[in-house]
Amino acid sequence: MAYEPTGAPDYYNIDDLLTEEHLLIRQTMRDFVKREISPKIEQWAQDAHFPSEIVKKFGDVGAFGPTIPTEYGGGGLDYISYGIIMQEIERGDSGMRSTASVQGSLVMYPIYKYGSEEQRNKYLPKLASGEWLGCFGLTEPDFGSNPGGMVTNIKDMGDHYLLNGSKMWISNSPECQVAVVWAKNEEGRIKGLIVERGMEGFTTPEIHNKWSLRASCTGELVFDNVKVPKENLLPNIDGLRGPLGCLDSARYGISWGAIGAAIDCYESALKYSKERVQFDKPIGGFQLTQKKLAEMLTEITKAQLMVWRLGTLMNEGKATTQQISMAKRNSVDMALHIAREARQIHGGMGITGEYPIMRHMMNLESVITYEGTHDIHLLITGADITGIQAFK
């Protein structure tokens, strides 16, 4: 019998820490994922198909920019609500959560935080509704973990900027209408610009043959003498702290989202262990299987408590970049470990599309690398606790 997702495990009664609104939001997103994503996701992943129609549906259900004020089309919700939404989407699929994460944290957030009032009014409602899809251009072919080394650049031409360069591994790029792009000006300062589909010299080649995030569209951003109007520069930010501030918001969402993938793998393994009979009893009755399941639930519970506390700090404006790094790294590492253990419990069936395990495992291999790699997040924590930066 194929796996059917149920409710999330809550071994420490963490629901008691959530408000009625939080629980309602979770149920709404859970129902949405069960209806719109879960029945189709295995086929989308097998076919490497990005379902463009999901963008408008995400907009309708409020998955884009949940923390953006309602006056710009956002949800006006708190950060725990945002985390819950990301968790439920990633229980469906990490690629689907990537689509929502990028739109909310990496496109809408910088336009809201760093943009002019005119930019907010022009772009945010269309992004919130899903009428437009956006992407975030930071990573380059030669600069991933070291974004400060970027070579994409702008020149001031008087009435416009001339943008040249390229970006790599950009979620949503092949389907985007707008891109928030980070480039160096003539003084070497990093600036943010809003680049629109249709600007001459702006192309978005798709990246094919991925083994991971197969239901998400990934591509490049190529800028060949693109004329960007002066009014498309984000006026309220200067330097690397611009893109890094966006990444804080996105990494926070991932810290919740990856737990969703872990929960999906755990629940599938638990159900399978009760149904699969070997040596005249369900495999859930064997010590090694119980050890795996008990450790999975322990790690999920620890991560749930960590992200709930982090969400509280985010709501209070107290969360640090370093705390967000720790949570992102912990959640994704934990989820990958659980996916691998769950695959073993499922035996040979674990590699098939009958169950979500292998898809989650492959997806998480991207999630553990993007928006700060596993090792870089460790060094962010290390630099924070020792006062010595190990990057160079």
What number of other Cβ atoms are within 10 A of residue 196's Cβ? 16
Q: How far lies 257's CA from each of 95, 316, 350, in Å?
A: 11, 21, 22
371 among known catalytic residues: yes
8 in Cβ contact with 263 (< 8 Å)? yes
d(CA 100, CA 238): 26
* Interhelix angle 241-275/287-315, nearest 10 degrees: 150
d(CA 116, CA 128): 17
Residue 6 dihedral angles phi and psi, to the nearest 5°: -120, -135
Q: How far lies 109's CA from each of 232, 285, 384, in Å?
A: 15, 48, 26
Which residue among the candidates 42, 88, 90, 371 is catalytic per the annotation?
371
Which residue type does 240 have? L
167 in Cβ contact with 137 (< 8 Å)? yes
Active site amino acids: 371
